[in-house]
Chain A
């Protein structure tokens, strides 16, 4: 028998379990153009829908004339808010407890807002039909600045005023002004202010984290198909949370949930953009119900950039207090958050500013206070976590900038300042001042390893020489050393404090072992490129002893997969990965009983060994998982049901806290503003590593999106609320040309509460990367008096910094 000649190491290797750089099973179809994305779906009689969108950022709608459009060949119907109103679908709830117009109900609040939905026979007719819809607009004053919005008499959301004109509470408590959404606080205000008032040193800075966009390569879209015979609605779409979408569709449409099947096929990147529910979904469903035919809606690039969920737009003011030796004693963070025309942030319900209260970072800061004010403006709604857990990118940017600003104030090396303030290894689990309990960490080890790897002292010496040379006129290039030490908070989350619209943020895995020793596992998550079919099979291979190659992973079909909250916020491995391990352990427990029966010993007398159960002390007596699987289905075993299946719904006891140490070395041409990244070193600690190759790929991808955001990617508006960056000509999406070589490294500090110790990694490089790139730019100008300059650091803004510092002579 083959097993008799295989060594234990060979048996382990054969499983391709955890720790193996197993090649991605998805890539065979993706690299051959055989993926199955929603726009690949073609159904008999399928119709198309597309939107008439507002050219104005704020306007009253006087009239919509659809007569000419209905005469365009191929146009079947034009839906407006008036058509949706009788169904109660002209508005829809948002994930943030607000409501949003599906189609413009009397007014528009942002450029690109959906005004009418044209149902047509093909896309060409859609483009013609849209042009033929005549909309009379009466322009209204436009508010694109949240500070001005909070002072303005202009009311953006009349629908939120009481009849007497007063301002009722919002979903998150009292509202201070008609354009104010919420105030959210964490920490202790008075003690923090007292610490700051009495501190040796206080550094203060105001920073704007600009508005950007996740911009997945595949835009958002769906196909809705209502079968009028059996009353069943099938909705294919680019959903990062298919089960949540099913529940939301049921709640707002009144269709019973068992009659709704939501399917997320292959998804071409999400990065948070595909978490929420969009008017396109609602209108497509309505159009399919009305026509009885499948209706497809697919955004084009401009639709995607201008209307579906943006990220960031946080105005942050910080004060950080320290002793004169540099020990941080307190931090105060005050945020004005621009949410656009509707509050459609995708955050756990109790966290309207996401996990911004992780903004004490990796540091042992005893006192802290955070206040966030959400504000309505005439911009697109959104505020999603673009390749990060909820608002964590903002939080890490804030603290990693404040550390640098404090280092300048103290005239101290920023690496050393971090070192003396890190939470120490022995302090974990660490209770942070703003409420979180960090699960595990070893920051000093990671930091030392990173600084050594880049020869930090050597870099500083070189930089000092460069400054001398610059001042002597020998060079026009400055050198910046960007440092970042980040702690993420991912894996939302414990149902006791994490839900979205009341849906607890657990996740799930259901496993069926087939009689001949292969298996299928279905999860409540959905891959958008993360490689779940590869990595979840590896977790299971290690847990149940069947080869990863013999395990199919399926996600995204709500009729077959167990309920789960989907994939975003680096939650798949921390939550669904845990569910997978736990379900695997249930399989193993039953397999143990079967093995004991087959080996004619007591349950406790067999032990699991890689791919089999063997009799303790007699390893030559064993039953492989293959044999056990066959017996489970084909042998009558007293007291044990046939079959070998398990399901686990995992409610995580805590978040996980991945961390990392990044260093960026950058050369900046002072005259042109062009930055060149000479070196980027990224050390990530994501706990137990499931697939090192996929981790490396995730780090490369996250860093590249970080580079984009830090160096140019922005959704910019003019004063009239026009989007200035609505195409990929102006919205910076880096290509291979703009991306430097990345050096990756790691330490391993497992999560103590996760079944396999894994923490999640997909978003860490973005969270850590943005401040690292930004800090490199800022650091280059530090010797000339720069303390802070806002992102994005594109050529002209870098040039402007140099210019303002008098470096152009």
Chain B
């Protein structure tokens, strides 16, 4: 549990970060809260000769709320998310999800930016951000660019971010309607056996919009457009929910691990999704 030797940098600004990344390419990694990367380094599963700490870079830890949008800096911690009352009233699903991540000690250090950027299929924020249709802003030597969360993830630990780029912020529209982040895990601190993020709006008794994403049921988060579409226009009767579940089951691709075999995970994904939909609907 001791990492291989590495060089540690703590630049004072993003220019310094980008210049180091430019110099060392894929031999360098930036570190935010370190709660994914450091364990990987200690297990010697990640070899990072040059480690660039973002803690010294200013301007990355703000939560900005405007009339209809939210901007979260990459260095905002899970605890900051939970602690921010304005954010909790604008987008309560963020607090509901953050409270189900790891444990309080980890949440004091773990950042939202690190959580979404690392590409770990077990992380909760990627699926949540896909559900919220958030946009990730990354910066490189050639300037900034925006990548939709729904197009960010390519494979486990593989994302649309280039090695020389740094994820700096997450923006999203303030979601309307009902919400739920439903997660089953074996114990506190565990990754999801299955988790579902659901946002719904209703008009009268009809579902007007629906957004559904699943966590840790594939090597990337799974945003299921078809599942959302199955609910829109319905009154969320059993048939509609079953159609949404069927759609999600077609999109996920869980693998067996100590949390259980594939058949269990598929069944559980359906149960968790149904519960999330019902809870979101009750809040819509």
Contacts and interface: CB of A to CB of B under 8 A. Distances in A.
B267 A799 contact: yes
A480 B259 CA distance: 23
A729 B185 CA distance: 11
A122 to B, nearest CB: 10
Given A734-B187, A737-B188, A795 B5 contact: no
Contacts of A737: 103, 187-188
B16 interface: no
A300 interface: yes
B82 interface: no
Interface residues on B, range: 20 to 34
Interface string B40-64: 0000100000000000000000000
Interface in A308-342: none
Contact of B268 (A126, A301, A712, A799): A799
B267 A808 contact: yes
A732 B187 contact: yes
A800 B1 CA distance: 35
Contacts of A530: none
Nearest to A50: B2
Contacts of B264: 673, 795-796, 799-800
A716 interface: yes
B106 interface: no
Contact of A131 (B44, B186, B188, B193): B44
A124 interface: yes
B186 A735 contact: no
B190 interface: yes
Given A796-B264, A799-B264, A800-B264, A735 B4 contact: no
A671 interface: yes
B86 interface: no
A289 interface: no
A654 to B, nearest CB: 41
B260 A795 contact: yes
A724 interface: yes
Contacts of B190: 729
Nearest to A716: B258
A795 B193 contact: yes
B2 A124 contact: yes
Given A725-B258, A729-B190, A795-B259, A300 B1 contact: yes
A672 B184 contact: yes
Contacts of A732: 186-187
Contact of B271 (A126, A671, A729): A671
A674 interface: yes
A127 B2 contact: yes
Interface in B189-221: 189-191, 193
A679 interface: no
B178 to A, nearest CB: 22
Point out which of A128, A729, A735, A800 has the most chain B C-beta atoms below 10 A from its C-beta: A729
Interface in A708-738: 712, 716, 724-725, 729-730, 732, 734-735, 737-738
A716 B186 CA distance: 16
Given A127-B2, A674-B184, A732-B186, A799 B44 contact: no
B5 A128 contact: yes
Interface in A670-691: 671-674
B267 to A, nearest CB: 7
B35 to A, nearest CB: 12
Contact of A672 (B44, B191, B268): B268
Contacts of B260: 794-796, 799
Chain B contact residues: over half helix, strand or loop, or mixed?
Answer: loop
Interface string B264-282: 1001100110000000000
A302 interface: yes
Contacts of B189: 729, 735
Contacts of B44: 127, 131
Given A123-B2, A128-B4, A301-B1, A724 B268 contact: no
A734 B188 CA distance: 8
B188 A738 contact: yes
Contacts of B184: 672, 674, 795
B250 interface: no
Interface residues of A, number: 31
Interface string A36-73: 00000000000000000000000000000000000000
Interface string B1-34: 1111100000000000000000000000000000
A671 B3 CA distance: 41
Nearest to A797: B260
A804 to B, nearest CB: 12
A796 B259 contact: yes
A127 B4 CA distance: 8
Contacts of B259: 795-796
A127 B44 CA distance: 10
A270 B268 CA distance: 37
Interface string A593-613: 000000000000000000000
Nearest to B274: A671
A301 B190 CA distance: 17
B261 A796 contact: yes
A794 B186 contact: yes
Contacts of A712: 186-187
Contacts of A799: 260, 264, 267-268
Contacts of B4: 127-128, 131
Contacts of A808: 267
Nearest to A725: B258
Given A712-B186, A729-B190, A796-B264, A724 B258 contact: yes
Interface string B221-262: 000000000000000000000000000000000000011110
A802 B74 CA distance: 43
A301 B42 CA distance: 12
Contacts of B3: 127
A712 B258 CA distance: 10
A795 B265 CA distance: 11
Interface string A203-228: 00000000000000000000000000
Nearest to A730: B258
Nearest to B3: A127
A800 B263 CA distance: 9
Nearest to A127: B2
Interface in B168-191: 184, 186-191
A724 B259 CA distance: 11
Interface in A766-809: 794-796, 799-800, 803, 808
A775 to B, nearest CB: 21
Given A123-B2, A127-B2, A301-B1, A795 B186 contact: yes
Interface string B95-122: 0000000010000000000000000000
A300 B44 CA distance: 14
A794 B272 CA distance: 17
Contacts of A673: 264, 268
> Across chains A and B, which 10 residue pairs bring their CB atoms closest together, nearest first?
A796-B260, A127-B2, A737-B188, A796-B264, A730-B258, A300-B1, A671-B271, A735-B188, A799-B264, A738-B187
Interface of A: 123-124, 126-128, 131, 300-302, 671-674, 712, 716, 724-725, 729-730, 732, 734-735, 737-738, 794-796, 799-800, 803, 808
14 contacts: A127-B3, A128-B5, A301-B1, A671-B268, A672-B271, A673-B264, A729-B191, A732-B187, A735-B103, A735-B187, A737-B187, A795-B264, A795-B268, A796-B259
Given A716-B258, A796-B193, 10 more contacts: A672-B272, A712-B186, A735-B103, A795-B184, A795-B259, A795-B260, A796-B259, A796-B261, A799-B264, A803-B267
